[in-house]
Protein backbone atom coordinates (compact mmCIF):
# COMPACT_ATOMS: atom_id res chain seq x y z
CA UNK A 1 0.00 0.00 0.00
CA UNK A 2 1.26 3.43 -0.87
CA UNK A 3 0.26 6.32 1.38
CA UNK A 4 0.58 9.99 0.50
CA UNK A 5 1.89 12.20 3.29
CA UNK A 6 1.37 15.96 2.86
CA UNK A 7 3.10 17.76 5.70
CA UNK A 8 1.23 20.99 5.18
CA UNK A 9 -1.25 20.30 7.94
CA UNK A 10 -0.80 18.29 11.13
CA UNK A 11 -3.53 15.87 12.22
CA UNK A 12 -2.94 16.52 15.90
CA UNK A 13 -5.58 16.62 18.57
CA UNK A 14 -7.92 19.58 18.24
CA UNK A 15 -6.81 22.35 20.52
CA UNK A 16 -10.27 22.40 22.01
CA UNK A 17 -9.74 18.91 23.37
CA UNK A 18 -6.72 19.98 25.36
CA UNK A 19 -8.43 23.09 26.66
CA UNK A 20 -11.41 21.08 27.82
CA UNK A 21 -9.06 18.60 29.39
CA UNK A 22 -7.35 21.31 31.42
CA UNK A 23 -10.72 22.63 32.49
CA UNK A 24 -11.76 19.25 33.86
CA UNK A 25 -8.58 18.12 35.61
CA UNK A 26 -9.21 19.22 39.15
CA UNK A 27 -8.07 15.76 40.18
CA UNK A 28 -5.20 15.55 37.74
CA UNK A 29 -3.70 12.38 39.11
CA UNK A 30 -6.89 10.63 37.94
CA UNK A 31 -5.95 11.47 34.37
CA UNK A 32 -2.74 9.44 34.41
CA UNK A 33 -2.69 6.61 31.86
CA UNK A 34 -4.48 3.64 33.33
CA UNK A 35 -6.15 0.49 32.17
CA UNK A 36 -9.85 0.62 31.46
CA UNK A 37 -12.44 -1.94 32.48
CA UNK A 38 -12.00 -1.37 36.24
CA UNK A 39 -15.29 0.49 36.60
CA UNK A 40 -17.54 -2.43 37.49
CA UNK A 41 -20.55 -0.33 38.41
CA UNK A 42 -21.88 3.17 38.28
CA UNK A 43 -20.84 3.56 41.92
CA UNK A 44 -17.16 3.41 40.92
CA UNK A 45 -17.55 5.30 37.63
CA UNK A 46 -15.60 8.58 37.67
CA UNK A 47 -17.24 11.83 36.53
CA UNK A 48 -17.34 12.63 32.82
CA UNK A 49 -14.55 15.18 33.01
CA UNK A 50 -12.18 12.72 34.72
CA UNK A 51 -12.90 9.99 32.16
CA UNK A 52 -12.38 12.47 29.37
CA UNK A 53 -9.08 13.68 30.86
CA UNK A 54 -7.89 10.09 31.17
CA UNK A 55 -8.76 9.49 27.52
CA UNK A 56 -6.77 12.54 26.44
CA UNK A 57 -3.82 11.40 28.55
CA UNK A 58 -3.92 7.95 26.94
CA UNK A 59 -3.96 9.60 23.51
CA UNK A 60 -1.00 11.79 24.31
CA UNK A 61 0.98 8.71 25.35
CA UNK A 62 0.00 6.86 22.17
CA UNK A 63 -2.30 4.33 23.86
CA UNK A 64 -5.06 4.82 21.32
CA UNK A 65 -7.00 1.63 21.98
CA UNK A 66 -7.31 2.47 25.67
CA UNK A 67 -8.24 6.03 24.77
CA UNK A 68 -11.10 4.83 22.58
CA UNK A 69 -12.49 2.77 25.48
CA UNK A 70 -12.38 5.78 27.79
CA UNK A 71 -14.02 8.09 25.27
CA UNK A 72 -16.72 5.48 24.69
CA UNK A 73 -17.29 5.32 28.47
CA UNK A 74 -17.95 9.05 28.43
CA UNK A 75 -20.33 8.77 25.50
CA UNK A 76 -22.23 5.82 26.93
CA UNK A 77 -22.54 6.98 30.53
CA UNK A 78 -22.82 10.75 30.06
CA UNK A 79 -24.49 11.05 26.61
CA UNK A 80 -25.95 14.52 27.22
CA UNK A 81 -22.80 16.16 28.55
CA UNK A 82 -20.50 18.47 26.65
CA UNK A 83 -17.75 15.96 27.27
CA UNK A 84 -19.62 13.31 25.30
CA UNK A 85 -19.72 15.47 22.17
CA UNK A 86 -15.96 15.89 22.10
CA UNK A 87 -15.35 12.31 23.24
CA UNK A 88 -17.09 11.11 20.09
CA UNK A 89 -14.74 13.15 17.93
CA UNK A 90 -11.62 12.10 19.82
CA UNK A 91 -12.66 8.46 19.64
CA UNK A 92 -12.62 8.82 15.85
CA UNK A 93 -9.25 10.56 16.03
CA UNK A 94 -7.77 7.79 18.18
CA UNK A 95 -9.07 5.12 15.82
CA UNK A 96 -7.54 7.03 12.90
CA UNK A 97 -4.15 7.17 14.66
CA UNK A 98 -4.46 3.45 15.32
CA UNK A 99 -5.03 3.00 11.56
CA UNK A 100 -8.39 1.43 12.34
CA UNK A 101 -9.93 3.41 9.49
CA UNK A 102 -13.28 1.65 9.17
CA UNK A 103 -14.14 2.21 12.83
CA UNK A 104 -12.84 5.78 12.63
CA UNK A 105 -15.10 6.52 9.66
CA UNK A 106 -18.06 5.05 11.53
CA UNK A 107 -17.33 7.17 14.62
CA UNK A 108 -16.86 10.32 12.57
CA UNK A 109 -20.05 9.72 10.57
CA UNK A 110 -21.95 9.39 13.84
CA UNK A 111 -20.42 12.59 15.18
CA UNK A 112 -21.25 14.49 11.98
CA UNK A 113 -24.85 13.25 11.93
CA UNK A 114 -25.43 14.18 15.58
CA UNK A 115 -23.52 17.48 15.59
CA UNK A 116 -23.51 18.91 12.05
CA UNK A 117 -23.23 22.51 13.29
CA UNK A 118 -20.60 21.88 15.94
CA UNK A 119 -17.52 24.11 15.91
CA UNK A 120 -15.31 21.11 15.20
CA UNK A 121 -17.43 19.73 12.34
CA UNK A 122 -14.84 20.90 9.78
CA UNK A 123 -12.18 18.87 11.54
CA UNK A 124 -14.45 15.81 11.56
CA UNK A 125 -15.02 16.05 7.80
CA UNK A 126 -11.30 16.52 7.22
CA UNK A 127 -10.35 13.59 9.45
CA UNK A 128 -12.88 11.40 7.64
CA UNK A 129 -11.29 12.30 4.29
CA UNK A 130 -7.87 11.36 5.67
CA UNK A 131 -9.17 7.92 6.61
CA UNK A 132 -9.84 7.27 2.93
CA UNK A 133 -6.80 9.16 1.69
CA UNK A 134 -4.35 7.12 3.77
CA UNK A 135 -5.71 3.95 2.17
CA UNK A 136 -5.03 5.00 -1.44
CA UNK A 137 -3.26 2.10 -3.07
CA UNK A 138 -0.81 1.59 -5.92
CA UNK A 139 -1.96 2.58 -9.41
CA UNK A 140 -2.02 -1.05 -10.48
CA UNK A 141 -4.66 -1.92 -7.87
CA UNK A 142 -8.35 -1.14 -7.49
CA UNK A 143 -8.96 2.57 -6.95
CA UNK A 144 -12.32 2.47 -5.13
CA UNK A 145 -10.78 4.04 -2.05
CA UNK A 146 -9.27 6.79 -4.20
CA UNK A 147 -12.72 7.75 -5.49
CA UNK A 148 -14.02 7.84 -1.91
CA UNK A 149 -11.07 9.98 -0.86
CA UNK A 150 -11.78 12.42 -3.69
CA UNK A 151 -15.45 12.63 -2.70
CA UNK A 152 -14.70 13.34 0.96
CA UNK A 153 -11.93 15.81 0.13
CA UNK A 154 -14.38 17.66 -2.10
CA UNK A 155 -16.82 17.71 0.84
CA UNK A 156 -14.24 19.53 2.93
CA UNK A 157 -13.51 22.03 0.16
CA UNK A 158 -17.19 22.67 -0.59
CA UNK A 159 -18.42 22.96 3.00
CA UNK A 160 -15.46 24.83 4.48
CA UNK A 161 -13.79 26.60 1.54
CA UNK A 162 -11.90 29.17 3.62
CA UNK A 163 -10.58 26.82 6.28
CA UNK A 164 -7.03 25.51 6.64
CA UNK A 165 -8.50 22.04 6.18
CA UNK A 166 -9.75 23.00 2.71
CA UNK A 167 -6.28 24.29 1.79
CA UNK A 168 -4.71 20.95 2.62
CA UNK A 169 -7.61 19.06 1.01
CA UNK A 170 -6.94 20.81 -2.31
CA UNK A 171 -3.33 19.63 -2.26
CA UNK A 172 -4.34 16.06 -1.48
CA UNK A 173 -7.06 16.20 -4.14
CA UNK A 174 -4.48 16.89 -6.84
CA UNK A 175 -2.43 13.93 -5.72
CA UNK A 176 -5.50 11.69 -5.63
CA UNK A 177 -6.48 12.74 -9.16
CA UNK A 178 -2.94 12.01 -10.29
CA UNK A 179 -3.31 8.51 -8.87
CA UNK A 180 -6.53 7.92 -10.83
CA UNK A 181 -4.86 9.17 -14.01
CA UNK A 182 -1.99 6.77 -13.36
CA UNK A 183 -4.46 3.91 -13.00
CA UNK A 184 -6.02 4.78 -16.37
CA UNK A 185 -2.55 4.95 -17.89
CA UNK A 186 -1.62 1.47 -16.64
CA UNK A 187 -4.79 0.02 -18.18
CA UNK A 188 -4.36 1.99 -21.40
CA UNK A 189 -0.79 0.75 -21.85
CA UNK A 190 -1.97 -2.83 -21.36
CA UNK A 191 -4.68 -2.44 -23.99
CA UNK A 192 -2.24 -0.87 -26.42
CA UNK A 193 0.26 -3.71 -25.92
CA UNK A 194 -2.54 -6.15 -26.71
CA UNK A 195 -3.34 -4.16 -29.90
CA UNK A 196 -6.76 -3.22 -28.47
CA UNK A 197 -6.39 0.32 -29.72
CA UNK A 198 -10.01 1.36 -29.35
CA UNK A 199 -10.03 0.43 -25.64
CA UNK A 200 -6.66 2.11 -25.13
CA UNK A 201 -7.91 5.31 -26.78
CA UNK A 202 -10.83 5.39 -24.33
CA UNK A 203 -8.45 5.32 -21.37
CA UNK A 204 -6.07 7.91 -22.80
CA UNK A 205 -8.93 10.25 -23.71
CA UNK A 206 -10.27 9.94 -20.17
CA UNK A 207 -6.93 11.19 -18.84
CA UNK A 208 -6.90 14.12 -21.28
CA UNK A 209 -10.48 15.18 -20.54
CA UNK A 210 -10.90 14.30 -16.84
CA UNK A 211 -7.36 14.69 -15.46
CA UNK A 212 -5.92 17.47 -17.59
CA UNK A 213 -3.68 18.92 -14.90
CA UNK A 214 -1.98 15.67 -13.93
CA UNK A 215 1.52 14.60 -14.92
CA UNK A 216 0.14 11.87 -17.19
CA UNK A 217 -1.50 14.19 -19.74
CA UNK A 218 1.45 14.61 -22.16
CA UNK A 219 2.05 10.85 -22.21
CA UNK A 220 -1.65 10.22 -22.87
CA UNK A 221 -1.56 12.60 -25.85
CA UNK A 222 1.52 10.94 -27.31
CA UNK A 223 0.00 7.48 -26.92
CA UNK A 224 -3.17 8.71 -28.60
CA UNK A 225 -1.02 9.63 -31.59
CA UNK A 226 0.35 6.09 -31.65
CA UNK A 227 -3.09 4.47 -31.42
CA UNK A 228 -4.61 6.71 -34.10
CA UNK A 229 -1.78 5.89 -36.48
CA UNK A 230 -2.19 2.17 -35.83
CA UNK A 231 -5.87 2.54 -36.76
CA UNK A 232 -5.05 4.58 -39.87
CA UNK A 233 -6.59 7.78 -38.46
CA UNK A 234 -3.84 10.09 -39.65
CA UNK A 235 -5.88 13.27 -39.34
CA UNK A 236 -6.70 12.55 -35.68
CA UNK A 237 -3.06 11.73 -35.04
CA UNK A 238 -1.92 15.05 -36.55
CA UNK A 239 -4.48 17.05 -34.57
CA UNK A 240 -3.53 15.34 -31.32
CA UNK A 241 0.16 15.96 -32.00
CA UNK A 242 -0.69 19.64 -32.56
CA UNK A 243 -2.35 19.82 -29.14
CA UNK A 244 0.64 18.09 -27.59
CA UNK A 245 3.06 20.43 -29.33
CA UNK A 246 1.16 23.53 -28.26
CA UNK A 247 0.85 22.61 -24.59
CA UNK A 248 4.10 20.71 -24.03
CA UNK A 249 6.53 21.87 -26.76
CA UNK A 250 9.67 20.98 -24.81
CA UNK A 251 8.57 17.60 -23.49
CA UNK A 252 10.05 14.26 -24.44
CA UNK A 253 6.54 13.07 -25.30
CA UNK A 254 6.22 15.73 -28.02
CA UNK A 255 9.65 14.73 -29.32
CA UNK A 256 8.41 11.14 -29.55
CA UNK A 257 5.17 12.16 -31.31
CA UNK A 258 7.07 14.36 -33.75
CA UNK A 259 9.46 11.52 -34.60
CA UNK A 260 6.55 9.12 -35.06
CA UNK A 261 4.77 11.43 -37.52
CA UNK A 262 8.05 12.01 -39.33
CA UNK A 263 8.57 8.27 -39.68
CA UNK A 264 5.09 8.01 -41.23
CA UNK A 265 5.83 10.91 -43.62
CA UNK A 266 3.01 12.96 -42.10
CA UNK A 267 4.91 16.19 -41.56
CA UNK A 268 3.28 18.43 -44.16
CA UNK A 269 4.99 21.69 -45.23
CA UNK A 270 4.13 24.78 -43.18
CA UNK A 271 0.79 26.47 -44.03
CA UNK A 272 0.95 29.17 -46.74
CA UNK A 273 -0.86 32.49 -46.28
CA UNK A 274 -2.83 31.26 -43.29
CA UNK A 275 -4.08 28.06 -44.96
CA UNK A 276 -3.63 24.55 -43.62
CA UNK A 277 -2.18 22.35 -46.37
CA UNK A 278 -1.99 19.25 -44.22
CA UNK A 279 -5.72 18.63 -44.59
CA UNK A 280 -6.13 18.71 -40.80
CA UNK A 281 -7.74 21.53 -38.90
CA UNK A 282 -5.27 23.67 -36.97
CA UNK A 283 -5.79 23.74 -33.18
CA UNK A 284 -6.77 27.42 -33.33
CA UNK A 285 -5.40 30.75 -34.47
CA UNK A 286 -3.29 31.26 -31.36
CA UNK A 287 -1.69 27.84 -31.86
CA UNK A 288 -0.89 28.57 -35.51
CA UNK A 289 0.53 31.97 -34.68
CA UNK A 290 3.06 30.42 -32.33
CA UNK A 291 3.97 27.66 -34.76
CA UNK A 292 2.30 25.03 -32.54
CA UNK A 293 1.43 22.27 -34.96
CA UNK A 294 2.34 18.68 -35.70
CA UNK A 295 4.85 19.91 -38.30
CA UNK A 296 6.77 22.07 -35.81
CA UNK A 297 9.99 20.50 -34.48
CA UNK A 298 10.28 20.23 -30.71
CA UNK A 299 11.33 23.44 -29.02
CA UNK A 300 15.05 24.06 -28.59
CA UNK A 301 15.42 24.24 -24.84
CA UNK A 302 18.84 25.87 -25.18
CA UNK A 303 17.30 29.06 -26.53
CA UNK A 304 15.66 31.67 -24.37
CA UNK A 305 12.23 30.55 -23.22
CA UNK A 306 9.29 32.26 -24.95
CA UNK A 307 6.78 34.26 -22.99
CA UNK A 308 4.40 32.12 -20.95
CA UNK A 309 1.18 31.39 -22.84
CA UNK A 310 -2.11 29.93 -21.68
CA UNK A 311 -3.26 26.49 -22.67
CA UNK A 312 -5.75 26.90 -25.48
CA UNK A 313 -7.75 23.81 -24.56
CA UNK A 314 -7.72 24.14 -20.78
CA UNK A 315 -6.36 26.45 -18.16
CA UNK A 316 -4.88 24.65 -15.16
CA UNK A 317 -5.47 25.80 -11.61
- Domains recognised in the chain with CATH numbers: 1-135 (1.25.40.10)
- Cα–Cα distance, 305 to 52 (Å, whole number): 61
pLDDT bracket for residue 266 (50, 70, 90): confident
Q: What share of the chain is helix, strand, coil (3-state, %, to 5)?
A: 60, 0, 40
User: Residue 29: is its pLDDT beyond 50?
Assistant: no
Residue, of 155 and 266, whose pLDDT is higher: 155
Per-residue pLDDT, averaged over 4-28, amounts to 44
User: Residue 177: is its pLDDT beyond 90?
Assistant: yes
DSSP H stretches of helix in 39-100:
48-60, 64-77, 82-97
The pLDDT assigned to 237 comes to 94
Please state the pTM of the whole predicted model: 0.71
- Cα–Cα distance, 64 to 59 (Å, whole number): 5
- Label residue 62 left, alpha or beta by phi (over 0 means left) and psi (-120 to 50 means alpha): left
- Cα–Cα distance, 77 to 96 (Å, whole number): 23
Per-residue pLDDT, averaged over 45-67, amounts to 92
Per-residue pLDDT, averaged over 2-21, amounts to 46
The pLDDT assigned to 58 comes to 94
Poorest-pLDDT segment among 213-217, 231-235, 279-283? 279-283
User: Residue 160: is its pLDDT beyond 70?
Assistant: yes
Per-residue pLDDT, averaged over 228-255, amounts to 93
The pLDDT assigned to 22 comes to 40
Per-residue pLDDT, averaged over 148-157, amounts to 96
Per-residue pLDDT, averaged over 121-125, amounts to 96
pLDDT bracket for residue 269 (50, 70, 90): low
Helix (H, G, I), strand (E, B) or coil at 300: coil
- C-alpha distances out from residue 221 to 28, 170, 217, 284, Å: 64, 26, 6, 17
Per-residue pLDDT, averaged over 19-44, amounts to 47
- Cα–Cα distance, 182 to 230 (Å, whole number): 23
pLDDT bracket for residue 299 (50, 70, 90): low
Average pLDDT of the chain is 79
The pLDDT assigned to 261 comes to 93
The pLDDT assigned to 195 comes to 96
CB-based contact 178:136 (threshold 8 Å): no
Amino acid sequence: MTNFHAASLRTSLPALALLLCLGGCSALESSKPRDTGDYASSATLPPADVLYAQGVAQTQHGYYEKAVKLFNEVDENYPYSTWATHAELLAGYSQYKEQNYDDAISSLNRYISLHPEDADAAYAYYLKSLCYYEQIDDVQRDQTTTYEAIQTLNDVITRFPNSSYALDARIKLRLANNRLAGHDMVIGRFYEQQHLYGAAIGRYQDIVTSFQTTTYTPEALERLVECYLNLGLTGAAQRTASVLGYNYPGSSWYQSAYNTLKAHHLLAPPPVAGTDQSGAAAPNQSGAATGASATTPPADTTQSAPATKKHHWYWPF
